[in-house]
Amino acid sequence: MTQRRNFLRAAGAAALGATAVDRVAAITLPEPETRSSVEMAVPPTPSTGRPFHPVATLNGWSLPWRMRDGVKEFHLVAEPVVREFAPGMTAKLWGYNGSSPGPTIEVVEGDRVRIYVTNRLPEHTTVHWHGITLPSGMDGVGGLTQPHIPPGKTFVYEFVPPRSGTHMYHPHADEMVQIAMGMMGLFIVHPKDPRQHRVDRDFAFLLAAYDIEPGSATPRPSEMTDFNLWTWNSRVFPGIDPLVARTGDRVRVRVGNLTMTNHPIHMHGPSFEVTGTDGGWVPKSARWPEVTTDVAVGQMRAFEFDAIAGDWAIHCHKAHHTMNAMGHGLPNMVGVDSQGVAERIADLIPGYMAMGETGMAEMGSMHMPIPENTLPMMSGKGPYGPMEMGGMFSVVKVRDGVKPGDYRDPGWFPHPPHLQAREFTGEVAAPARAPSPPADEKTVEVRKPDGGHGAHHHH
Ligand SMILES: [Cu+2]
């Protein structure tokens, strides 16, 4: 009922707003598609327009379009949404068409694209098409290239993406709030010739960071550096889809960064090559093999590899980005025997528990009381126990028998027993150790900082 009312209100608002732009378009505005499910929906091969191989947006979907007089027409609706970050926690965000990130927009280079944007937010917005070369008046910078889109109004953008690549869209209006609230989406431009840059599987996700106080659901948009939830497509591990492929598949992963810090994305197993940036494709002669690629703020990277059977971790290599909230302000207790202290504090604060004397791994298996709508700091259960991960982490699951177009989780990898680490039960010889210097030769040098460049002397 509510959805129906919202739809009618949206349709009314859209028709009203569009009169300012195009009276004819107002009558036939494409009906906005809405989806709030977190289940990945890979679109079928397109039935209209030029053929392309659709991307798999992790926990996401692609926006359907309508062909009208040879133009691909999309309808984006900027609106408040509810997003499940992982089972056990939902957040009140802003997004597009029912989701954050908004639906992926997929077009082909040379397509004429028309995008209606209806604003159902409580404040004005715009949409910037990040990385796409277009007329500057279509660039979506509020105040600079267009008036802002007021609440309740619809604007229309129209352009022809000249080259294929990995791009994104996001507001260029009150960005600090609107991006911090989850407003973003992927914009993929496919090559005109589908044989060009062809891969078997093409995954895509956006990096987003949120600051949501444990026990609450709305991000604090004024936060500048101290975020506590590190997400891929507004999901955290174990809520992030696995990247499923068949042994030998050529796989592409496209990553865009709309957080306020860089993320070194690291993949276990085969090495990969960065084949594309937000500026286009990297020439073959300029590619090199690596296993980690740093994605800076505002950047996009597409990398490719040949899939090898197994369960391969893929994650941000900043360790605190593979954790959820509550990782904040914990004193470093490694190596500290707090036994006596804990007992004394427990007298004052019932239920007090000392954490982290032997590292933090124990937290992966501890059942601590946590506030409602809050995820454990580290979780994710594997076939051999807790994985002690959260945040920006997933698994590339490669199997021999996966059918083309099948992205369903195949379960855990059945390691051949002789190819898996196991306990050694024989006699363990004394391990080699680095010799430690005799105690009397130990010296401690303390150098006082004397400041600036003058501190460096030549003798
Ligand atoms: Cu990171």
Residue 393 CA to ligand 1 center (angstroms) comes to 10
Residue 260 CA to ligand 1 center (angstroms) comes to 10
Structure confidence at residue 14 as a pLDDT band (50, 70, 90): very low
Residue 392 CA to ligand 1 center (angstroms) comes to 7
Question: What value does the mean pLDDT take over residues 213-240?
Answer: 88
Structure confidence at residue 213 as a pLDDT band (50, 70, 90): confident
- pLDDT value at residue 405: 93
d(CA 20, CA 118): 13
- pLDDT value at residue 226: 80
Highest-scoring range by mean pLDDT, 25-29, 256-260, 379-383 = 256-260
Structure confidence at residue 11 as a pLDDT band (50, 70, 90): very low
Structure confidence at residue 8 as a pLDDT band (50, 70, 90): very low
- pLDDT value at residue 386: 87
pLDDT tops 90 at residue 346: no
More confident residue, 375 or 253: 253
d(CA 80, CA 87): 20
- pLDDT value at residue 414: 96
d(CA 180, CA 84): 16
- pLDDT value at residue 440: 63
Question: What value does the mean pLDDT take over residues 296-324?
Answer: 95
pLDDT tops 90 at residue 442: no
Residue 322 CA to ligand 1 center (angstroms) comes to 8
Residue 257 CA to ligand 1 center (angstroms) comes to 10
Residue 377 CA to ligand 1 center (angstroms) comes to 15
Residue 266 CA to ligand 1 center (angstroms) comes to 10
More confident residue, 41 or 437: 41
Structure confidence at residue 439 as a pLDDT band (50, 70, 90): low
Residue 316 CA to ligand 1 center (angstroms) comes to 5
- Domains of the chain, first to last: 2-310 (2.60.40.420)
Question: What value does the mean pLDDT take over residues 229-241?
Answer: 95
Structure confidence at residue 344 as a pLDDT band (50, 70, 90): low
